[in-house]
Amino acid sequence: MIASVEAPAESHNGSDGPLLSIENVTVQYPSKRWRSPDFLALKGVSLDIRAGETVGLVGESGSGKTTLGRAVLGLAPVTTGLIRYDGQVISAMNRKQRRTLSDEIQVVFQDPYTSLNPALTVLDILTEPLLTAGTRRAEAEQRVKDLLEQVHLPRDASNRLPREFSGGQRQRIAIARALCRDPRLIVCDEPVSALDLSNQSRVLDLFIEIQERTGVSYLFVTHDLSVVRYISHRVAVMYKGEIIETGDAAKVTTQPQEPYTQRLLLAAPVPDPARQASRRAARQKFSAQLRVAGPIDNRAS
Ligand SMILES: Nc1ncnc2c1ncn2[C@@H]1O[C@H](COP(=O)(O)OP(=O)(O)OP(=O)(O)O)[C@@H](O)[C@H]1O
């Protein structure tokens, strides 16, 4: 695995501004139970993503990572704040207006076993978004051949059903589907966490390869720090609905400034025994520092 990817040299959208700009966004889920308060899942989150950039969103379970990805996709209610895409405010768009963005913003979900329609062949899964957009069938079928090649699946994959593929191969089909209409931003929600380690690194390499070729940006949601370090240019760390630290991926994942990020780093599993020993020593040192510094909630805002 490489240490971290090179930052994109320049914006692909021809402007100096970010491709995606999340500005002070709050998401409040309405309570489903009588007299219980609404739940504030995001508390004033701000984050930019430039064209061609991968921003990794990391944090423990329940910190709000998926909610932020869903807010970008228009699937979680933005209560206050704004989300701009290429300068245009998208957070206030209705469903019909959002549909016009499906060429631009796509998603790859965690579970390749449930994200693909089991009754459709790969050809049907991949031609459907193209035919819906008005592409002629012959052209759509040629495009599917190209897409299968791009994600390193054999051309005869077209005629098979999702159940005939392994988890890693299914995730490649899901990636091909996300690529159908040449998006400029893909929200990746834990796209490798259901895969075994060797498939994880192959699929991560595929994401990087696609980005190098197309200049697509990724908002990459994961709880796994080694994944985030591998794939991201920058990392944003979420804690209880807030972004508490952002910065260069290599720096945040090796020299985090915030005690919470330090704790997250120390809690990450390390298979190599020598590294485990040094991790244990670091953990003990960090615990001693914490005893002096006070509880981890006392982080800088
Ligand atoms: N539709 C919903 N209605 C009410 N609360 C929700 C809803 N979706 C998420 N939440 C709550 O919002 C908080 C953030 O959830 P979210 O799924 O964004 O976290 P996460 O960081 O992605 O967690 P994980 O890594 O486990 O997926 C959690 O406390 C969750 O219970």
**Cα 237–21–230 angle (5° rounding)?**
40
**pLDDT over 60 (residue 13):** no
**Cα 90–96–102 angle (5° rounding)?**
65
Which of 26, 27, 29 for a ligand 1 pocket mutation test, highest count of atoms within 8 Å of Cβ? 29
How far apart, in whole angstroms, are the C-alpha atoms of residue 127 and residue 144?
Answer: 7
C-alpha 39 – ligand 1 centre gap (Å): 10
Helix (H) or strand (E) segment spanning residue 56: strand 54-58
Closest C-alpha residue for ligand 1 atom 28: 62
Percent of the chain with pLDDT over 70: 84
How far apart, in whole angstroms, are the C-alpha atoms of residue 143 and residue 222?
Answer: 30
What ipTM score was computed for the predicted complex, to two decimals? 0.96
Least confident of 41-45, 89-93, 100-104, 144-148: 100-104
Q: 63 CB under 6 A from ligand 1?
A: yes
Q: 236 CB under 6 A from ligand 1?
A: no
pLDDT (tens digit, 9 = 90+) per residue, 161-179?
Answer: 999 999 899 999 999 999 9
Per-residue pLDDT, 277:
58
As to burial, measured by CB atoms within 10 angstroms (0-12 exposed, 13-18 middle, 19+ buried), residue 174 is buried
Three-state SS letters, 244-278 = EEEEEHHHHCCCCCCHHHHHHHHHCCCCCHHHHHH
Other Cβ atoms closer than 10 A to 286: 16
Q: 157 CB under 6 A from ligand 1?
A: no
Per-residue pLDDT, 288:
59
pLDDT (tens digit, 9 = 90+) per residue, 233-279?
Answer: 999 999 999 999 999 999 999 999 999 999 988 887 655 555 555 55
Q: Which pTM value belongs to this model?
A: 0.85
How far apart, in whole angstroms, are the C-alpha atoms of residue 182 and residue 215?
Answer: 10
User: Token match 């020993």: residue?
Assistant: 277
Q: 69 CB under 6 A from ligand 1?
A: no
Does residue 112 or residue 107 have the better pLDDT? 107
How far apart, in whole angstroms, are the C-alpha atoms of residue 189 and residue 175?
Answer: 12
User: Token match 């990392």: residue?
Assistant: 235
Which of 65, 107, 222, 242 for a ligand 1 pocket mutation test, highest count of atoms within 8 Å of Cβ? 65
**pLDDT over 90 (residue 7):** no
Q: 154 CB under 6 A from ligand 1?
A: no
Residues in the chain: 301
Closest C-alpha residue for ligand 1 atom 29: 62
Least confident of 42-51, 132-141, 280-289: 280-289
Phi and psi angles of residue 290, each rounded to the nearest 5 degrees, phi first: -65, -40
How far apart, in whole angstroms, are the C-alpha atoms of residue 51 and residue 118?
Answer: 34
C-alpha 67 – ligand 1 centre gap (Å): 6
How far apart, in whole angstroms, are the C-alpha atoms of residue 257 and residue 144?
Answer: 45
Closest C-alpha residue for ligand 1 atom 2: 29
How far apart, in whole angstroms, are the C-alpha atoms of residue 252 and residue 261?
Answer: 8
Closest ligand 1 atom, CA of 221?
Answer: 22
